[in-house]
Amino acid sequence: MKQTTVGGSKRKMANALAIAVLVVIFLGYMFPFLMVVINSLKQKRDIIKDPFSWLFTIKGLSFDNFVKAFVQMDFLNAFKNSLLVTVSATILVTLLAAMLAYYIVRNKNKISDITFALMVASMIIPFQAIMIPLVSIYGGTLHVLEHRLTLIFMHTGFSMAMSVFMFHGFIKGNIPIALEEASCIDGCSHSQTFFLIVFPLLKPIISTMVILNSLAFWNDFLLPSLVLSKKELLTLPLSTYSFYGTYSADYGTIMAGLLLCVIPILVLYVVLQKQIIGGVVAGAVKRSEEHTSELLVNVYKGWVIMQKDKIHLKSPGNWINDPNGFIYYRGKYHLFYQYFPWAPQWGTMHWGHAVSKDLVNWEHQEIALFPTKYEDQNGCFSGSALEYRGRLYLYYTGVHYHQPDPDNIHLCRNEQFLSSQMLITSRDGMRFDNFHNKSVIIPCMEENGPGDRTHTRDPKVWRGSDAWYMVLGSTDGDGLGKLLFYRSTDLTDWKFVNAVSGKNGFGWMWECPDYFETEGGGVLLLSPMEIMKDGKKDTAQTICMPVEFEETTCTMQIPNTYQFVDYGLDLYAAQTTLDEEGRRTMVAWMRMPQPVDGAWSGMFCIPRVVELRKGHVYFRVHPNIEKMYTKQILYVSEADRAGYKISVDIGDGESIGIGGYWIFRRGCHICTDRSNVFGRHTDYRLQFMTPEIKEGYHLDIYVDHHLIEIFINDGEYVLSNVVYGLDNRIQTDIEAGYRMYTLES
């Protein structure tokens, strides 16, 4: 107790000492101003006798000095001149500096870099070094002195460097580019985007620069004294010079005149003091949350970036669907995705972007692709990625609506739109020039072309033995799906080679085709539309099958049978790439019937390794994911926020309930029921069953708050379901028991 008391006393003493020091510093700063106020109310003889005497010791206090200063200064005229010069120069430098800083930040090239460097360098040049040449040029050569416009022009020029520097820091650290991308989608020009979107967000730094520049312009004496000498043009600081005579000075009037000069700008500072402090801080550093929070977010009207996810990549806010451009590039996994950043519902498609070093820890980046061209005006649909000579190539489908829905311009009436295949490249996989670096590689199909003008999309590109190949999903117009194969030798000039038509019962249009080779042979992934005929929602499903592909003629035989990629039937639009070790790895979209907390919709499954063995396609948990679940636990409450894993061998007739979601074995099948954890969505499927199991009944069940993935016999089959409202109960009648694991902290 004594130690605590002593420690508290020491802290109090230290605080008192700090306060005392601050008071002394404050008084030191305020003393000159206090002397001006005191002496402005004294008569001249009292000032000369004792300038440091306090007011209560002086007789004959008077406001005569203020009256005399007001008349002798011609205060109203001088105030008008100061106000005109200060306001005009402040408005000019604010607008010009904001526009120039915005251009420099958003246009990274040599010209902008050199311009910014020169402006920063110019701040170290003292004004005294250039004032004599300045007067000689403007007075002797140009004859433009004795004009208020000249002074306004000079104030603007000399203040530009610091102002641009401050605006540059604020825009770079605080203004998200996605807002500008959205305004471009809505048809704004560059000037409209700046003045309607960006400029209003600059309020803190505008307030800062207004007060700093206004103070400088209002109080400046040296520059106006070089430019103006006529009495009718004098500013307030210059007009105080009239109080000084050759042999004497009227100190009381001088003090009163100084007060009259500073009071207007002092009022402005008091009004804007909060904004100036906030603007300086925001312009100097980024918000500390970006460095300390696990969820690194920057939100404005639903826009979110830099969110971190573990195991399952989820929507960073609002809507996501198909994975796009999945690739291992320059030591990182890049996963792009269909993204509508303005609401948790489908709309005009952008490409969101996330990166990971290990397929476990993901971090969302800024939007990669957004509509800028006629061909992709209404959306950047799905596609794929590849690397060539260090550059990242993104292929995607651009869509253009004939007639947007007047009630929701993000939708199209009667599916009247055109589809074109497009390309954009990047030097580093992080920056994409959406305005200047897009090109159309396959224009919209002609009426008698190999594919449908509307429903031809989702290019998947790969390297063959002798050239580059592309497959597109399409329809033949008679209710059958169709694949279109193209070949290229340079990645930009693509020639149509062959079309492969589907079979009855395989859907009317084939989305998201993906062909690849494994050690066991070739595999084709498809997402046929309306392949399900059971009257429930989500009639489009993702299927897979072993196939053979002949490169010379681009022929492929489609078998009569197929597997579902996932028998929970929520998974869709699968896409694969080769991982760091050369394993064929797949991700896919898990469809959600309602947003989570009204804020976000859509997530991706655990990355899965695809293998073909004896004509059967296996989907195994990726080893990077599997090795994360090493901490054995007894209760769900002990699990990491990223979820937990249950391993169990299930006997015939046995079951296990996970938070209200039931898994049970019925003969040679694994079945599930999510009726208790799927709200009132009875128009969706609630019960599920695998085909006949042949290799045993071991289950590895990966549980997330909104997704349960069941891997049967290391990927013989997978059954995954989206869920809502899981609780922490584990109920089971399995005699052998179960083991539960989570991630190490």
318-329 vs 600-601, strand pairing mode: parallel
Closest CA to 457 of 379, 340, 387, 354: 379
Q: How far apart are CA 672 and CA 656, in angstroms?
A: 10
Residue that the structure tokens 């009247």 belong to? 416
Closest CA to 333 of 630, 572, 575: 575
- Given the residues 220, 309, 322, 570, select the one marked as catalytic: 322
Asked if 330 and 429 touch (Cβ cutoff 8 Å), the reply is: yes
Sheet holding 739-743, edge to edge: 629-633, 739-743, 644-649, 698-704, 707-712, 717-722
**Secondary structure in 3-state letters for 121-140:** HHCCCCHHHCHHHHHHHHHH
What is the DSSP secondary structure assignment for residue 634, as one 8-state letter?
S
Q: How far apart are CA 195 and CA 99, in angstroms?
A: 9
Asked if 697 and 670 touch (Cβ cutoff 8 Å), the reply is: yes
Non-local (6+) Cβ contacts of 487 within 8 A are 464, 467, 468, 469, 470, 494, 495, 497, 554
Asked if 138 and 144 touch (Cβ cutoff 8 Å), the reply is: yes
Closest CA to 367 of 386, 379, 354: 354
Asked if 468 and 462 touch (Cβ cutoff 8 Å), the reply is: yes
Sign (positive/negative) of CA torsion 469, 475, 478, 479? positive
Non-local (6+) Cβ contacts of 411 within 8 A are 347, 404, 405
Give the containing element (helix H, strand E) for 421: strand 417-426
Closest CA to 576 of 460, 465, 473: 460
CB atoms under 10 Å from CB of 741, counted, come to 19
CB atoms under 10 Å from CB of 70, counted, come to 16
Sign (positive/negative) of CA torsion 111, 117, 123, 126? negative
C-alpha dihedral, 78 to 82 to 88 to 90, nearest 10°: -170
Residue-by-residue DSSP string for 13-58: HHHHHHHHHHHHHHHHHHHHHHHHHHHHTS-HHHHHH-TT--GGG-
Q: How far apart are CA 437 and CA 183, in angstroms?
A: 19
Q: How far apart are CA 317 and CA 454, in angstroms?
A: 29
Non-local (6+) Cβ contacts of 628 within 8 A are 311, 360, 743, 744
Residue that the structure tokens 């008349």 belong to? 71
Residue-by-residue DSSP string for 550-601: ETTTTEEPPPS--EES-TTS-EEEEEEEE-TTS-EEEEEEE--SS-BTTTEE
**Residue 64 falls in the annotated catalytic set:** no
Non-local (6+) Cβ contacts of 611 within 8 A are 518, 519, 520, 584, 617, 618, 620, 715
Asked if 163 and 94 touch (Cβ cutoff 8 Å), the reply is: yes
Q: How far apart are CA 643 and CA 612, in angstroms?
A: 29
Closest CA to 454 of 423, 413, 505: 413
CA distances to 15, 412, 509, 692, 716 from 527, rounded to whole Å, are 69, 22, 8, 23, 20
Q: Active-site residue numbers?
A: 322
